[in-house]
Amino acid sequence: MEKNYFNIAVVFTLRCSVKCPHCGFSCSPQGGQDVTVDMVKRFCMETYEYARANSRCLGVNLTGGEPFVRYSELLELAEWLNRVDQGIMLSCVTNGYWASSVSRAKDLLGPLRRAGCMNIGISIDDYHLQEVGLGRVRNAVKALIELDMSVGFKFCQMNNMRSLFECLKEVGDPFLEKSDFRFVVHSFNCLPVGRARGLSKEHFRYLPLSSLGNCALGRFTLIPDGRLLVCCGSFDFAPTLVLGEYPRETVEGLIAAFNKNDLFNLLRARGPAYFAPFLDDAGYTVSTKSYTHICDLCHCVFRDVSTDLRKAKIIAQATKDWKHGEVNNTKVISLLESFMGVEENA
Ligand code: SF4
Ligand code: SF4
């Protein structure tokens, strides 16, 4: 039976070995905050207890920046999580810079694998390949295959880059032909946030509002300064999407606040597009614009709400009306149910 995971993400560091032009977090070797290992352990333990109390398993994704710049702490964390419960599913996203040779890559990946970290995401778009070097990324993939670990290729789409197929072929040949090579591909359009804001508009791939996909709200993301975000897409822009501060508030308290929050419930049910007609009517251009990603639309909706009180009021009123409609719907459903119950019992 498929396990039911409660997934969280931890931005382990905002430092990186390279400086990609399209980095949404503006990471670089010049610096960036780390989250302490003690804080991650405490956060994971509280979340693990919450997940268990709700009959779920815990999934932890370590991301960045580049988590391997803190390799010994990364390994310490993986071993600790494995001691807590071997059923915790740990994954990690990297650019593969550390794979100077296949044997070096295996030296680093082997201990992680033994500590239960079986899934590694590797970025393979042109900007990453140029910054890190094709050879290193290939070494990392080869080592992952030899260690029988799962590979998740991460591909950020832009008009000025080669296609997913071309990059995958360049990185993956000849591994792709191996019938037992397990990999998944996560391809997404680049968001114009962080350092990517400085790139030419023509480089981005825009989509109409109706094709933006689903909102991934609910994948809580801890960032190094202790803020807990309601998703992994909101780092750069929206104070509205900050759930609270950890460890000032407990995980249980933060999740309870999330579940009670009308705006988050609305976003979960309808996504940020729900607000588009209300904002259009008030003169904000939302529906007629194109967006690269649903989180880009979200950015447009929530950008400036802390300074634009008029916009904040429109969003608050639309949320209130939605909640009212939901309550009324629930009343109608329970009336219908009780009516049907009467009919059945008659
Ligand atoms: S490898 Fe990833 S985290 Fe590092 S600079 Fe590039 S996009 Fe940013
Ligand atoms: S659409 Fe908004 S709330 Fe949903 S995942 Fe993206 S940034 Fe988060």
Is 143 found in the same domain as 288? no
The answer, yes or no, to whether any atom of ligand 1 lies below 6 A from the CB of 75, is: no
Q: Provide CB contacts within 8 A for 291, sequence distance 6+.
A: 206, 207, 209, 212, 297, 300
Whether the CB-CB separation of 105 and 98 falls below 8 Å is answered with yes
Residue 339 lies in a domain: no
The answer, yes or no, to whether any atom of ligand 1 lies below 6 A from the CB of 27, is: yes
Residue 74 lies in a domain: yes
Is 268 found in the same domain as 199? no
Q: Provide CB contacts within 8 A for 293, sequence distance 6+.
A: 188, 189, 190, 191, 207, 212, 213, 233
Residue 271 lies in a domain: yes
* Residue 183 structural domain: 5-205
Nearest CA to ligand 1 atom 1: 95
Question: What spacing in Å lies between the alpha carbon of 192 and ligand 2's midpoint?
Answer: 14
Q: Could you tell me the mean pLDDT of each successive run of 10 residues in the chain, 346 residues long? A: 84 97 94 94 98 96 96 98 97 98 98 96 97 96 93 96 93 74 90 94 92 88 94 73 94 96 94 95 93 93 91 96 81 63 52
Residue 257, pLDDT score: 96
Q: For a substitution probing ligand 2, which of 266, 295, 303, 315 has the most ligand atoms within 8 Å of its CB?
A: 295
Give the total number of structural domains in the chain: 2
Residue 346, pLDDT score: 43
Question: What spacing in Å lies between the alpha carbon of 18 and ligand 1's midpoint?
Answer: 6
Is 123 found in the same domain as 272? no
Looking at the CA of residue 97, tell me the nearest atom of ligand 1: 1
What pairing do the DSSP bridges indicate for beta strands 89-94 and 57-64?
Answer: parallel
Report the 10 Å Cβ neighbour count for 317: 11
Residue 142 lies in a domain: yes
Q: For a substitution probing ligand 2, which of 267, 296, 300 has the most ligand atoms within 8 Å of its CB?
A: 267
Is 198 found in the same domain as 304? no
Is 163 found in the same domain as 270? no
Distance CA 344, CA 346 (A): 6
Looking at the CA of residue 195, tell me the nearest atom of ligand 1: 8
Q: Give the pTM.
A: 0.91
Helix (H) or strand (E) holding 13: strand 5-13
